[in-house]
Amino acid sequence: MKRKIDVAAFVWPAYTGDELRTRIFWPEGIGEWESVKLAKPSFEGHLWPRVPLWGYVNEADKSVMEMEIEQAASHGVNVFIYDWYWYDGRPFLENCLNDGYLKAENNGKVKFYLMWANHDIGYSWDIRNSDMEGDYTLEQLGKSMLYTGEVDRAGFEKVGRRLIERYFKHPSYYTIDGKPVLMIFSLPVLIKGLGGFKQTEEALRWLKEECKKAGLAGLHLQLNQHPVCYEIYEDGRLLPIGEVIGRLGFDSTTNYQMLNACRERERDYAAMVGYAEAGWERMSADSPVPYFPQVSVGWDNTPRFKRPRKYIITGNTPERFKDALLRAKAFLEKHPERHPLITVNSWNEWTEGSYLEPDTLYGYGYLDAIGEVFGK
């Protein structure tokens, strides 16, 4: 009997104006929908703006999320991975999770876990200042950073306790082997903030112990494996990724974007899927822990910039997306010892051109592809 595969889609929690600090980027008060609405094509045949079939909804509204949960569950998406942020010593963009998903009466139909999106924030969310991004000097880049994702040990412990108390114990929180799953987006930023590799070892060990003290079975740490993860140093020595993963206590790896699995840069979606498939095998071989395959709908961050983008994925039709899903399913079936999980980018990354939510171009095509491959 074949196992049911969990399909976990990333959620970008910026489609709300309820987080007042986002007004610096999107003054209209509807979150990053503002950039989606204003997007312009970069070349003839470029399909922007994209228009959501459900409208420019507030995803921090529980009734909206109840509808989205029903649609996700009925199409085979049974886990949401919420991007979770912490800046200036406090949480950022928690509204869609706290007020939308967690208050939805049907959240038991789609479980959730968190990816700590501990990256810096520049001007790329604000199209009015997007010319700062692109052909910048290092001096300009430094001035363009609004928030840093770095935390010191005290900040790390504050984050850890918040995650344990507010989220890890929730009955809908996703677990592997009974342990709540937490993904780390940027390992280099985490290490820099904590002061070094050894300090990061100690901090992650502390977090796992705190989970046990709180009555949990432990913590399943998941790494967003990105090419930059191959550039971790200790005392001037470049550490092999396998050693990094093992010593820091990560229990699995995946990617946030399928591009992160590719060493090559290819604009055609079908070709990119082939490179990503090779990347899944490569990252599995490099890692002492399970790698979970990642499938993306595409890549096109045109809405975040004034000038045309140099790198856009084309040809990412629902049919080609379905082929990528079939390859990920086959990959997992070759590794029956692994927990049955794939990650998908994304439920709603509209401004990166990688979303499952239905639009006026393909309708429910991407969601239907998931249902056809993995069952509803």
* pLDDT of 287 higher than 50: yes
Rounded CA-CA distance 25/128 in Å is 8
The reply to whether 292 falls in a domain is: yes
The CATH number given to whatever domain includes residue 136 is 3.20.20.80
- Count of structural domains, the chain: 1
Q: Which of 49, 123, 46, 26 is nearest to 308 (CA)?
A: 46
Give 238's strand partners. Answer: 233
Q: What is the pLDDT of residue 132?
A: 54
Identify whether 188 is preceded by a cis peptide bond (ω within 30 of 0). Answer: no
What is the span of the domain harbouring residue 138? 6-374
The reply to whether 182 falls in a domain is: yes
The reply to whether 320 falls in a domain is: yes
* pLDDT of 142 higher than 60: no
The beta strand positions in 48-206, using DSSP E, are 79-87, 90-92, 111-116, 175-176, 179-184
Question: 152-195, pLDDT tens digit by residue?
Answer: 999 999 999 999 999 999 999 999 999 999 999 999 999 999 99
Using only C-alpha atoms, the chain has a radius of gyration, in whole angstroms, of 20
* pLDDT of 65 higher than 60: yes
Reduce the DSSP state of residue 42 to 3 states and report it. Answer: coil
Average pLDDT value for the chain: 92
Q: What is the pLDDT of residue 228?
A: 62
The reply to whether 221 falls in a domain is: yes
**pLDDT tier at 137, thresholds 50, 70, 90:** very low
Buried b (16+ CB within 10 A) or exposed e, 336-367: eebbbbbbbbbbbbbbbbbbbbbbeebebbbb
pTM above 0.85, yes or no: yes
Contact status, residue 152 vs residue 89, Cβ threshold 8 Å: no
- Average pLDDT rounded to a whole number, residues 331-353: 96
- Average pLDDT rounded to a whole number, residues 204-231: 92
Q: Is the dihedral of CA 67, 70, 75, 81 positive or negative?
A: positive
Rounded CA-CA distance 149/119 in Å is 5
The reply to whether 1 falls in a domain is: no
> Which residues lie below 8 Å from residue 265, measured CB to CB, with a gap of 6+?
259, 311
> Which residues lie below 8 Å from residue 370, measured CB to CB, with a gap of 6+?
7, 75, 76, 77, 325, 344, 356
Q: Which of 69-83, 98-112, 300-314 has the lowest mean pLDDT?
A: 300-314
The reply to whether 354 falls in a domain is: yes
The reply to whether 254 falls in a domain is: yes
For β-strands 252-254 and 179-184, DSSP reports them as unpaired
